[in-house]
Structure 1
Amino acid sequence: MPGRRFGPDVAAEPPVRPADPAVRRANLRRIFPLFRAYRARLAVVCGLIVVSAALGVVPTFLLRAVLDSALPRSSGGEVRLGLLTALVAGMVAIPVVTGAIGVFQTLLSNQVGQAVMHDLRTSVYRHLQRLSLAFFTRTRTGEVQSRIANDIGGIDTVVTSTATSVLSNVTTVLATVVAMVLLDWRLAAFALVLLPLFVWLTKRVGDQRKKVTAKRQASLADVSSIVQESLSVSGILLGKTMGRSADLARRFSEESRRLADLEVRSRMTGRWMMAAIQMTFAVMPALVYWFAGWTIAQGSAAISLGTLVAFTTLQTRLFFPIGSLLGVQLEVQSSLALFDRIFEYLDQPVDIVEGSRTIERARGDVAFEHVCFRYDTDAWTLTDVSFTVPAGTKTALVGETGSGKTTCGYLVARLYDATTGRVTIDGIDVRELTFATLAAAVGVVSQETYLFHETVRENLRFAKPDATDEEVEEAARAAQIHDLIASLPEGYDTKVGERGYRFSGGEKQRIAIARTVLRNPPILVLDEATSALDAQTERLVQEALERLAAGRTTIAIAHRLSTVRDADQIVVLDGGRVAERGSHDELIAAGGRYARLVARDAESAVTMAGSG
């Protein structure tokens, strides 16, 4: 639908099942191992189902005995009261026993099903956590949420109860068919002759519903994405300030209407066909009576009244599980597309594989050795970048927007891997280190500050869950934010609001700096760490950072060249290459790229001062 989306580009076509039959079969085979860890409980469930199905057909034989043996054949006949009492007692006891078995079996099957749902949700979440930043930069947040919530939620019924329902219905059908044949094979053949036709018709309905379900899930993902994007604090601010609130509401209304139409189509697909099948099931007992009369009229062996009544009772019992099986087939067919979407995420390649080496406490020596990098198949972002950052020193990365400064910082933290060349910490390739070692060694404060909708204290403790209140406050003091937090009515227990919107940009930046300080990493990557601060606050934070940088390796990425004049080394990037390297004074004296950047900054500062 044109104009429907306003987030990052995604595929417009709804997901469908893979065209390759081998892929479809492979995905189907992946469903069964989900239950492997719960084999013992499933075995108990299966045993209870078989016992329940076997007991379920017994009352029909008791009914035949009641009509043919216990009750008189004529108005003057004798009632065999003792036999009648025993038969009726059996007919009463069996439903009680099967009911109790059914309750226990339902409990076990739901426990297993919910455990499988938990495992599946956790597997998807953990796998997504292992993917590189590149995956999330090209995928809408709403799409990820939809896969975990809507798609996995969509298979809830199938996973929690359908498997046991299928087994229960199959055993019931088999037991009933066997009992029908034992009662009278002629009636059984007549009653079951149309069953293959019903199965074929139901398969066709399942194929149709599967296609509609795929489109419905894609629409659900779009609705989730629109809600996530437009009803976040940022989305509300953007919509109101741009005067687009009505347009956003219209877009949501269009997508919601599309989803509603797909829901109707999904629920109505094949309903006429299923109604015809149900009607046929309903009239079959009457046809059986006719067939029994016709058989007797042809001179065949007589069919007793008890056999006929018991048979039609069994037949009625047969129709419900067959109808359920046909409906289950539709449900399973509809859910296969959802499993495919879930497996699609689980099959996303993990392009950043954890290493095995550890470092007790990194010294902080960082080196880029002939590093080249590009995002997917795009143009090269970095080309043959080489420089070293000795432990305890400060290196500034400067250059135009898009020159590769932030990418260098991300490579140190291993949010991406170098395409060629290597980045090392203490002489060890970062690809060889464990994630825990990297997280302990490298702290990143980016220009995109993110705070959870939690208290200030919990946001700070995210960096170090076992930190004491004293350590939290000390980190806040180092980032020049303690006094502000302490002045709030609830102090460190103040909720920051979604993405920290209760605080200004500079305040959020200082909270993020405090969070990194609390981790106490030997290597700091400051990606425009003071970009959101005013001049006075920036000076305070710069003083704090200078104190913190003592004894640490600091890689500072900045557009404001005034913040990096004191760096031990300045690396100037131009078009992804190292254009110059040296101290501030050395680069000014060289009169090259850095000197021109400084001159341009000075002109901009004069212009801004004049306009002010």
Structure 2
Amino acid sequence: MRAYADNDYPADHKPDWKIIAGLWPYLTEFRGRVALALSLLVLAKLATVSTPIALKYIVDYLDQNSGQDLLLWIPVLLVVAYGLLRFGSTLFNELRDAVFARVAERAMRRVSLRVFEHLHQRELGFHLDRKTGGLARDIERGTNGISFLLRFTLFNIAPTLLEILLVAGILLVVFNAGYVIAILVAVVVYVVFSIKVTEWRTKFVREANARDNQSNSRAVDSLLNYETVKYFNNERFEAQRYDSDLEEWEQARLKNRLSLATLNAGQALIIGVALIVIMAMAVTEVASGEITLGDFTMINAYLLQLFIPLNALGFVYREIRQALVNVERLFKLLGDKPAIEDAPDARELAVDKGEIRFEHLHFAYRKDRPILQDVDFTIPAGHKVAVVGASGAGKSTLARLLFRFYDVDEGAIRIDGQDIRDVTQDSLRAAIGVVPQDTVLFNDTLYRNLAYGRPDATEEEVHRAARMAHLEHFIHSLPDGYDTKVGERGLKLSGGEKQRVAIARVILKNPPLLILDEATSSLDSLSEQAILGALKEVSEHRTTLVIAHRLSTIRDADTILVMDGGRIVESGSHNELLATGGHYAHLWEQQHRGGDN
């Protein structure tokens, strides 16, 4: 599976406009609201294009009756109509936005949830390769981009085109084709110029986004590794690297802004020339008496009314292109299928006895570096099997394969005869409890981190799990007790305390199968003995796979497997393996000599 990268697309890549069609499902949930919003949009535009007509009659009445006795109620009535039309235009637009707000906000909610669920479905390899900071920025920009596309495609481009057609029709009927031709030429030149220049500057938008992702990823990564930075006095080094990324981002943003200035200046020039040409035509006709002063005022109002949204159309087109870039990355992320998926006919795992069978496994993270080679063994129901060996021998890979973070290349893993690839991942993982080597906690209270093992557990059940994991004395020593905040990734707790939280979670989950992946590696000898008692109690009558470094912790295992180079080279009980004088005996002697027994 190809890793997620910040540079999936070259800077000059053109986004697919079909992305807009992909937004249709988010509109169908509220068909009635969308229809009402479009109706209000049409009413707003009708009111808008009627306003200059009312203004024309006001000016003509005052001009034609200048110096005569005026019937004040006529211009007053016209002024009221003019004011009501302007108010109606604004009112209908605001009502349209209010009606459509639920549609746009719900779309953002739906997409955000879909992305969140999709990321949790992705395989472990994706999350090991990802850059969290850049990924978070892509999600944020993508969801905001969807809202923008929904709002402005429907309520800016479409109404602006409608207004251009209405104005062109009115000018053609009331005046002559010259005005329509001049306006259409100006619109065409404006649109073509805007599209061409916007296409040219899209590469600068992409570059700015990529540099933004890069700098944000660097900042998040550095702050997550705060302690490591301090250990090596590398604050200045980290600041220099971050500033280097910011410098690239600054340059990309500068190019983006300069290209935007070019676009804005060109658009302003086109509009200025069009206004001069059309107003010159109108002045000439007023002077010759072909049109009235009111007609001149109406033409001027229409031009201002037309070119303001047209100018906005240029802005919207630019923003839509940028939104497409952002949404494209989000949709691409959603389009990448997880490497590990349930089979179409997957069924629920049924754990009866709990026997686990590893059948002639072959596995490699990379094809040129095999990890497991013909690994074959069985963990009988209710038994504890420990796997030991040097670092890199493939011990933890067994646990990852059993939990189905990866699928085997050859062979099979069966639980009570069921191939784990034929059952749902949800039911498989619900049946397995894991105490990992490195426990990462949520930035929340201690109680909620404990209850994460079973969120619907009662308070008494959570407290009982804490007692069994020998955490209660520590918790009572804290000023805030169970309400103590553990900090990001649990950094306010020691390694041993975090490990006990992990054990308490598994106790609370109460699964039939256990994986203990060096579960006591962060504990001192005194704590280790206390935890071993709890682990022994919780693993009793459960099928347990123990990945161990300290051999002293697995002396009570029913069977000990010794791995070397991705193969099982020895198998037996603690005493049996010592008696053979092989790999296990050598490892035991090394640890015994080092005092780790």
Taking structure 1 as the reference length, the TM-score comes to 0.90
Q: Distance in 1 between matches of 2:18 and 2:281?
A: 47
* Other structure's SS at 1:414 match: coil
Q: How does 1:191-210 map to 2 (within 5 A)?
A: 191-210=183-202
Q: Counterpart in 2 of 1:316? A: 304
Alignment match of 1:269 (pick from 259, 262, 279): 259
Q: Counterpart in 2 of 1:470? A: 460
Match status 1:290 vs 2:250: no
Match status 1:400 vs 2:390: yes
Alignment match of 2:93 (pick from 102, 109, 113): 102
Q: Which amino acid aligns with 1:123?
A: R
Cα gap change, 1:402 to 1:72, in 2 (>3 Å): closer
Match status 1:251 vs 2:238: no
* Other structure's SS at 1:71 match: helix
Q: Distance in 1 between matches of 2:462 and 2:410?
A: 40
Taking structure 2 as the reference length, the TM-score comes to 0.93
Q: Distance in 1 between matches of 2:105 and 2:396?
A: 43
Q: Counterpart in 1 of 2:79? A: 88
Alignment match of 1:169 (pick from 150, 160, 171): 160
Indicate conservation of the 8 Å contact 1:72/1:79, yes or no. Answer: no
Q: Counterpart in 1 of 2:180? A: 188
Alignment match of 2:555 (pick from 565, 578, 586): 565
Aligned residues: 592
Deviation at 1:223, TM superposition (A): 2.3
Q: Which amino acid aligns with 2:584?
A: Y
Match status 1:488 vs 2:488: no
Cα gap change, 1:344 to 1:90, in 2 (>3 Å): same
Q: Distance in 2 between matches of 1:149 and 1:277?
A: 30
Match status 1:333 vs 2:314: no
Match status 1:595 vs 2:546: no
- What stretches of structure 2 of length at least 5 have no aligned partner? none
Q: Please give the root-mean-square deviation of Cα atoms over the aligned residues, in Å.
A: 2.5
Q: Distance in 2 between matches of 1:27 and 1:277?
A: 27
* Other structure's SS at 2:516 match: strand
Q: 144-153 or 92-101: which moved more?
A: 144-153
Q: Counterpart in 2 of 1:6? A: none
Q: 528-537 or 488-497: which moved more?
A: 488-497
Q: Which amino acid aligns with 1:215?
A: E
Indicate conservation of the 8 Å contact 1:110/1:161, yes or no. Answer: no
Q: Distance in 2 between matches of 1:426 and 1:17?
A: 53
Q: Counterpart in 2 of 1:357? A: 347
Cα gap change, 1:53 to 1:197, in 2 (>3 Å): same
Deviation at 1:30, TM superposition (A): 2.4
Q: Counterpart in 1 of 2:211? A: 219
* Other structure's SS at 2:561 match: strand
Q: Distance in 1 between matches of 2:270 and 2:197?
A: 17
Q: Which amino acid aligns with 1:97?
A: G
* Other structure's SS at 1:322 match: helix
Q: How does 1:477-516 map to 2 (within 5 A)?
A: 477-516=467-506
Q: Distance in 1 between matches of 2:286 and 2:540?
A: 105
Q: Counterpart in 1 of 2:222? A: 230
Match status 1:35 vs 2:27: yes
Q: Distance in 2 between matches of 1:276 and 1:401?
A: 64
Q: Counterpart in 2 of 1:114? A: 105
Indicate conservation of the 8 Å contact 2:355/2:415, yes or no. Answer: yes
Match status 1:67 vs 2:59: yes
Q: Counterpart in 2 of 1:54? A: 46
Q: Distance in 1 between matches of 2:95 and 2:352?
A: 57
Give CA-to-partner distance per residue, 1:99-151, whole Å, 9 cap, x none.
22121111123322222111111111111110111111111222322222344
Q: 325-334 or 182-191: which moved more?
A: 182-191
Deviation at 1:75, TM superposition (A): 4.1
Indicate conservation of the 8 Å contact 1:142/1:224, yes or no. Answer: yes
Alignment match of 1:450 (pick from 426, 440, 444): 440
Q: Distance in 2 between matches of 1:487 and 1:361?
A: 40
Deviation at 1:66, TM superposition (A): 2.9
Q: Which amino acid aligns with 1:314?
A: Y
Indicate conservation of the 8 Å contact 2:499/2:522, yes or no. Answer: yes
Indicate conservation of the 8 Å contact 2:148/2:323, yes or no. Answer: no
Deviation at 1:27, TM superposition (A): 3.9
* Other structure's SS at 1:397 match: strand
Q: Distance in 1 between matches of 2:281 and 2:139?
A: 54
Q: Which amino acid aligns with 1:24?
A: D
Q: 43-52 or 149-158: which moved more?
A: 149-158
Alignment match of 1:133 (pick from 103, 119, 124): 124
Deviation at 1:548, TM superposition (A): 1.5
Indicate conservation of the 8 Å contact 2:570/2:583, yes or no. Answer: yes
Q: Which amino acid aligns with 2:340?
A: I
Indicate conservation of the 8 Å contact 2:433/2:511, yes or no. Answer: yes
Q: 516-525 or 346-355: which moved more?
A: 346-355
Q: Counterpart in 2 of 1:281? A: 271
Cα gap change, 1:591 to 1:72, in 2 (>3 Å): closer
* Other structure's SS at 2:233 match: coil
Indicate conservation of the 8 Å contact 2:26/2:103, yes or no. Answer: no
Q: Which amino acid aligns with 1:433?
A: V
Deviation at 1:461, TM superposition (A): 0.6
Indicate conservation of the 8 Å contact 1:210/1:336, yes or no. Answer: no
Indicate conservation of the 8 Å contact 2:63/2:293, yes or no. Answer: no
Q: Counterpart in 2 of 1:4? A: none
Match status 1:240 vs 2:212: no
Deviation at 1:296, TM superposition (A): 7.8
Deviation at 1:603, TM superposition (A): 3.4
Deviation at 1:295, TM superposition (A): 5.8
Q: Which amino acid aligns with 1:278?
A: A
Q: 10-19 or 213-222: which moved more?
A: 10-19
Cα gap change, 1:208 to 1:306, in 2 (>3 Å): same
Q: Distance in 2 between matches of 1:36 and 1:16?
A: 34
Q: Which amino acid aligns with 1:219?
A: R
Cα gap change, 1:198 to 1:72, in 2 (>3 Å): closer
Give CA-to-partner distance per residue, 1:361-401, whole Å, 9 cap, x none.
55321111122222253422112211110111000011111
Indicate conservation of the 8 Å contact 2:349/2:418, yes or no. Answer: no
Indicate conservation of the 8 Å contact 1:46/1:167, yes or no. Answer: no
Q: 130-139 or 153-162: which moved more?
A: 153-162
* Other structure's SS at 1:302 match: coil
Q: Which amino acid aligns with 1:220?
A: D
- What stretches of structure 1 of length at least 5 have no aligned partner? 1-8
Q: Counterpart in 1 of 2:335? A: 347
Q: Distance in 2 between matches of 1:56 and 1:379?
A: 70
Q: Which amino acid aligns with 2:338?
A: V
* Other structure's SS at 2:362 match: strand
